[in-house]
């Protein structure tokens, strides 16, 4: 970003004259402008800026809104701003940071900026100013079973990760003990603990179930430890034997460590997973799709086919599994003897009744609904006329509405629709904001005029007559009604009349006509 000289001068004047007792919005604007200008080298951290930074600390005691504090700490976290003082000069700000990290009411956005400010300190200064020990105490406090706060644990994890290479063995051991006894931890904390173990194999992480309060923590940490093992773990096979039987060991875990498993271990896991899945079908299909390529050349095809049979009807919830099969094993996979039962299952699942069931459940999901309409039209003798009518009259989404409208204007469908329904469809289509729908409505109206008797034709013409002055379809309507199109359409009088007529369409008598 390039700041013009005039803008820079305005920023300098604002910095010099800012009153830190005023309302939030002006201060927020000044702080954001200054931070952006410093970041883009448009403003130097001169004495005026240093004075501004010093005075801005008053905001911390004023209970200002979180959005203002967020932008203030974004300014403090700028390396150029942080270097305007020695580390000791930031002690009051750092103490405020520690107090507010420890406060559950602090917003996640403010915590993230607090983290950015604290990590501006070098490891030596963070240790000397007792920042590391204070963050450790906060981590210990909020990882307890009866005092758990995931957001506080996450931000303290990020700070400790920044200084992880300077943590002493006793501190590392205390962190590991906290994780043994804590409730569910997040991904950042898992990576942090594994990183500590990688740098300090002497920690001797224990992966037996008796040591951990939370089974999911045990499996996540053990799996990531094995997945990132580059020689610092000697008993990886023993760890694998401990965690594989766990009911918490999921597909996403085996994806990470499958290269460490033998064929026997993979097939044992697949059999265990199949037994558990028979009782609980809550698993992400994307994990299965990601696993399939990794099973190639590792286990017999029959195991893969039997494994997929367990998923059953859920296979049609997403195309990811069938796509993964085709990409990894080729389209001929479905013709192999091993996959005969799986192929038969899919053919039984994907029938007209099932497609209609999916349609009923996904009426308001435009892409799923449209895909089902295509399947019905191409494979099962066409879309039922009642479904197409319902879609045109009730669906809020353009793609399926357009598709069904195009179907209904085919003579084979049109002849099955009653006159009053045709009238309703034409009115709905002409009032649609979608131009495709409006022109399809005109096509249906033309079809009705060609096939209906005089009384029904009069009703259709009455509807069309309301649209003869419409800006977009008026000309086409006049052609259908055989109304002459005036040649002198450029005169001012004609244009005004056309505008007024257009505004009159579907207008209540007491509405105000806005000519703009």
Q: Give the pLDDT confidence of 79-112 residue by residue, as tens digits.
A: 999 999 999 999 999 999 999 999 999 999 999 9
Contact 240, 257 (CB under 8 A): yes
Query: Residue 75 pLDDT > 90, yes or no?
Result: yes
Please state, in angstroms and rounded to a whole number, the distance separating the CA atoms of residues 303 and 291.
13
Give the pLDDT score at 9. 74
Mean pLDDT of all residues belonging to the chain: 87
Contact 441, 425 (CB under 8 A): yes
Size of the chain in residues: 516
Residue with more model confidence, 389 or 18: 389
Over the stretch 450-487, which tens digit does the pLDDT of each residue have? 999 888 899 999 999 999 888 889 999 999 999 887 65
Q: Where residue 310 falls among pLDDT bands split at 50, 70, 90? A: confident
* High-pLDDT (> 90) share of the chain, %: 51
Give the pLDDT score at 516. 43
Contact 422, 464 (CB under 8 A): no
Q: Where residue 427 falls among pLDDT bands split at 50, 70, 90? A: very high
What string of DSSP letters covers 379-390?
HSSS--HHHHHH
Q: Where residue 157 falls among pLDDT bands split at 50, 70, 90? A: very high
Over the stretch 341-375, which tens digit does the pLDDT of each residue have? 988 888 888 778 878 888 888 888 888 888 888 88
Give the pLDDT score at 515. 46
Please state, in angstroms and rounded to a whole number, the distance separating the CA atoms of residues 325 and 331.
8
Cα 168 vs. chain centroid, distance in angstroms? 39
Query: Residue 181 pLDDT > 60, yes or no?
Result: yes
Contact 437, 405 (CB under 8 A): yes
Instruction: List own/partner pairs for 326-331 with CB under 8 A and 24 or more apart.
Output: 327/293, 328/292, 328/293, 328/296, 329/296, 329/301
For the chain, how far is it from start to end, CA to CA, in angstroms?
Answer: 38
Please state, in angstroms and rounded to a whole number, the distance separating the CA atoms of residues 206 and 228.
17
Which residue from 224, 215, 216 is spatially nearest to 197, judged by alpha carbons? 224
Give the pLDDT score at 495. 63
Over the stretch 32-50, which tens digit does the pLDDT of each residue have? 888 888 888 888 888 988 9
Mean pLDDT for the stretch of residues 62-86: 93
Residue with more model confidence, 241 or 17: 241
Q: What are 292's two structure tokens? A: 């399939």
Residue with more model confidence, 163 or 378: 163
Give the pLDDT score at 107. 94
pTM of the full predicted structure?
0.68
Q: Per mean pLDDT, which range of 92-96, 174-178, 278-282, 386-390 is the poorest?
A: 278-282
Over the stretch 332-342, which tens digit does the pLDDT of each residue have? 888 999 999 98
Residue with more model confidence, 421 or 230: 421
Residue with more model confidence, 497 or 54: 54
Alpha-carbon Rg for the chain in angstroms: 35
């Amino acid at each position: 970003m390039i700041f013009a000289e005039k803008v820079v001068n305005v920023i300098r004047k604002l910095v010099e004259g800012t009153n830190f007792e005023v309302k939030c919005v002006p201060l927020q604007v000044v702080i954001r402008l200054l931070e952006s200008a410093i970041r883009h080298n448009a403003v130097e951290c001169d004495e005026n800026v240093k004075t501004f930074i010093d005075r801005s600390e008053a905001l911390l005691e004023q209970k200002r809104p979180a959005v203002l504090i967020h932008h203030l700490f974004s300014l403090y976290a700028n390396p150029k701003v942080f270097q305007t003082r020695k580390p000791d000069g930031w002690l009051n700000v750092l103490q405020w940071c520690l107090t507010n990290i420890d406060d559950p009411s602090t917003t996640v956005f403010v915590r993230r900026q607090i983290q950015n400010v604290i990590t501006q300190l070098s490891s030596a200064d963070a240790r000397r100013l007792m920042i590391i020990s204070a963050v450790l105490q906060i981590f210990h406090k909020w990882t307890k079973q009866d005092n758990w706060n995931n957001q506080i644990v996450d931000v303290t994890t990020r700070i400790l990760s920044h200084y992880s290479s300077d943590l002493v063995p006793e501190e590392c051991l205390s962190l590991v003990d906290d994780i043994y006894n804590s409730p569910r931890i997040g991904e950042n904390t898992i990576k942090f603990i594994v990183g500590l173990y990688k740098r300090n194999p002497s920690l001797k992480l224990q992966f037996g179930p008796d040591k951990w309060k939370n089974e999911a923590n045990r499996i996540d940490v053990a799996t990531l430890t094995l997945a990132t093992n580059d020689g610092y773990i000697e008993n990886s096979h023993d760890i694998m034997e401990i965690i594989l039987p766990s009911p918490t060991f999921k597909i996403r875990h085996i994806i990470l460590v499958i290269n460490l498993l033998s064929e026997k271990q993979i097939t044992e896991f697949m059999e265990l997973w199949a037994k558990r899945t028979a009782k609980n079908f809550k698993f992400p299909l994307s994990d299965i799709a990601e696993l399939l390529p990794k099973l190639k050349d590792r286990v017999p095809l029959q195991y893969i086919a039997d494994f997929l049979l367990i998923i059953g009807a859920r296979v049609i919830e997403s195309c990811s599994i069938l796509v993964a099969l085709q990409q990894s094993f080729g389209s001929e996979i479905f013709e192999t003897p091993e996959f005969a039962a799986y192929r038969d299952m899919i053919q039984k699942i994907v029938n007209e009744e099932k497609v209609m069931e999916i349609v009923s459940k996904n009426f308001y999901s435009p892409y799923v609904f449209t895909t089902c309409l295509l399947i019905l039209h191409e494979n099962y003798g066409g879309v039922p006329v009642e479904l197409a009518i319902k879609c045109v009259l009730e669906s809020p989404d353009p793609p399926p509405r357009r598709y069904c409208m195009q179907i209904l204007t085919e003579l084979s469908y049109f002849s099955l629709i009653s006159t009053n329904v045709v009238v309703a469809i034409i009115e709905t289509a002409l009032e649609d904001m979608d131009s495709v729908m409006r022109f399809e409505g005109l096509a249906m109206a033309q079809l009705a005029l060609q096939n209906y008797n005089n009384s029904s034709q009069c009703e259709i013409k009455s509807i069309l007559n309301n649209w003869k002055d419409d800006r977009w379809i008026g000309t086409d309507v006049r052609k259908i009604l055989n109304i002459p199109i005036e040649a002198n359409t450029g005169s001012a009088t004609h244009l005004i009349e056309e505008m007024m007529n257009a505004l009159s369409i579907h207008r209540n008598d007491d509405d105000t006509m806005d000519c703009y």
